[in-house]
Each structure stands twice: as structure tokens, then as C-alpha cells.
Amino acid sequence: MAAIIQGIGTATALNSTNSLDTNKTLFANSRRSLSDRKGRFFMVRSDGCLSYGLNGHGGRAEKLITNAVAAKEDTAVAYTSSKPGHELLLFEALREGLEEEMDRDPTVCVMGEDVGHYGGSYKVTKGLAPKYGDLRVLDTPIAENSFTGMGIGAAMTGLRPVVEGMNMGFLLLAFNQISNNCGMLHYTSGGQFKIPIVIRGPGGVGRQLGAEHSQRLESYFQSIPGIQMVACSTPYNAKGLMKAAIRSDNPVILFEHVLLYNLKERIPDEEYVLNLEEAEMVRPGEHVTILTYSRMRYHVMQAAKTLVNKGYDPEVIDIRSLKPFDLYTIRNSVKKTHRVLIVEECMRTGGIGASLTAAITENFHDYLDAPIVCLSSQDVPTPYAGTLENWTVVQPPQIVTAVDQLCQ
């Protein structure tokens, strides 16, 4: 099998434009201390309650309002039909980006369960096997640890493999390969090996897929040194991030949400590649910075309609880069609004929100006029029952309530 992989193409050396080291981290100038500001505080607990009081002393808890937003759920922000380009669903945009890179670079290959003639569990690789052959689009056995390790070995020898996990939860079986090999080999080899691999697949809380198929593994993988992580949320950024991840000399994990695959958007006909370390300004505003990513982007934008009607002007940022954070964009926003709300689908304990909170507190503490608030999923296995499933994930009414309290 190793001989087959080595025969897919010849190695090419590409200059890396997306190094794991980033110089965007800026430290805030002293403004004034939080202790000199209003003593009122509140926090949203993992059980969905608001707890608030004065000067750090606990107060009473109040259930979040569950019907504060009546607006219909948003779809992806799209180009208008009058603009040039072509319309694609998100999974089609991923496929188009992958196909363009396979045309451009013969060392790009795909491997995973059912990625070949079946076209992948969500049809991201549909049609690629007949075009490129079974060696460049390789169907593998149901053995995540084996084919992930094989992909890492292929990357070491000069190929640029794209490894698909049929479901991101299954990649826990390959955690040893991703952590001890994928993230560390560049360092432990003294720079002799690059690991230009992309690991991608569907994840997140779906519609009654059960606990094992509703995993959010960004919290697991963020602690691995040497790994970059990005999360797509629109067809436009899905394609741009896919192309950038393939061209990067660093190992990149691309998180795709299972409920976003059928979002439609008009994207440019011209080739484009996005920056792996750059956040997206979704909605400029003045009153509060809302940091989010993936599916929660749409919950936030749904809540933003109600917030605008109530007189608030929220600034919404899709962080996209989960590791490293785009602290330059975040810093400029926090300096303007002085209030931060983080909305994530990840678990509260040890999640992306916790890391974001730490980064903002360490770097931009003096810009804050109120404590950072983080809305996260509850620390429970995702229930199968639809009603219970919704209660474990942040909903737009909770975002509205949190902004109400944060801006008082």
C-alpha cells in the first residue's frame, strides 16, 4: 500500500504562506482597570441560567428567555443574483476547491472511507475517482488510525493528501496519529519533514444524529502543538479555506458542519484563496463584539435582527481560524466596542470559547468595560431526542438575553 501511495505523484516543494507562527498578537495599551468600572456582573451558566450580582458576589439565577426571537432562521449570506459568479452548495464548493487543487498539483490526493466511487458520505468527492483514478482518490478500509497514519506518511514523502473522516467523531480513533505524528514530526525531525496534510470531515450537532455522531472535536485537537484548525461556514469560505489548507505546508484540520452542507451561495468564477489565519467581519457594529464560528454564525445573525430592533448595534466576527486566533481583528473590535460575547457550539469546559476568553483577557484586558461572556453547549452527551438536543445547544434567544445583560 505504501508503494501505491508513493507512486501517486512526484514531490514538489511549495513555499509556505501560512506558518503556524503569527505576528498578529498585539498587546493592548493601558486604558483603565476593570475594577474601576461598574460593579455589576453576570454569567451564563452551562445549565442555561443567568447568574448576576454586584462586585463579584453571587446573586440569584434566572432562566434564559426561550422565545425572545421570532425571526426565521437565516441562510448563508450570498452574492446577489445580479453579481457575476456561479451558485454552489457548500459541499459543492468544497469539491470545486479540491478539484482545482488536484488539477493544479499532481501530488494532491484523497483518501478515506467511501471517498472514491461512492463520492463520500456527503458527496464532497463525488466524480473525482472517475476523473483522477483510484490511486489519487483512494478508498480505504474502515480503519481511521491506519489510513490517517498512511496519509501522514504520504505527506512526509512529498505528497499532499486530503484525508476525509466520514464523521469527525470517528477521528478519535486516529488521535494518536494526529497528535504524536501529524503535529510533532516537523519538530521532532529537526525540520527534516514537512507534513502538508489536510484532515477534514463533517461534525457538529446534527438533527438527531445521537451523541457519537454529534461530536465537536475542535476542543480535543486545539491542544496539539503544530496543528492548524479552521472552520468553514459559507460556500465562499469553504472553497477558499480548502484551497489554502491544501497549499499549506502545515497540517490543517478543516471542520465542516453537517447542517451547513446544503447552504447555497454565489461565489466568484475567478480563482481565490483565503488566509488560514484571518477572521471574517460578518457585520460591523459599535456596541458589543460577538465572536462565533461555523453553524453558530447563523444563530448569531438571527439574533442580530432582534438586537437591531431593540436598538443595539452588534459587531459579528466569524473567527474561522480556530488555531491560531486572529488576534489582530479581535483586538481592533474589542478596542471599539469594549464588550465581548462568545457564541460557540463547542463544549463549555476546555472549548474554543475558553481559549478565546483567556487570549482576550491576557492581551486586551484594559479595553474591556465588562466581563467576557461565553455561551457554549452544555457539558452533556448530545441527546437523541430533538427537543433535548436543542436545549443542549445555544439558541438565538439566549444570545439576545446575553447582549441585553452585557450592555446594561
pLDDT digits (tens, 9 = 90+) for 142-196: 999 999 999 999 999 999 999 999 888 889 999 999 999 999 999 999 999 999 9
- Residue 253 is given by DSSP the state E
Which of 3-7, 77-81, 323-327: highest mean pLDDT?
A: 323-327
Q: Where are the beta strands (DSSP E) in 31-71?
A: 40-44, 49-54, 61-63
Which residues lie closer than 8 Å to 134 by C-beta, 6 or more apart?
116
What does the alpha-carbon distance between residue 399 and residue 302 come to, in Å, rounded to a whole number?
A: 10
- Residue 53 is given by DSSP the state E
Question: Which domains does the chain carry?
Answer: 87-267 (3.40.50.970)
pLDDT digits (tens, 9 = 90+) for 258-268: 999 999 999 99
Determine how β-strand 160-164 pairs with β-strand 198-203. parallel
What are the distances in angstroms from CA 193 to CA 156, 251, 299? 6, 12, 41
- pTM for the predicted model, two decimal places: 0.80
Catalytic residues: 144, 213
The pLDDT, as a whole number, for residue 55 is 34
What are the distances in angstroms from CA 221 to CA 148, 169, 294? 15, 12, 16
* C-alpha Rg value of the chain to the nearest Å: 22
C-alpha cell at 308: 437591531
> Does an H or E element contain 298, and which?
helix 296-309
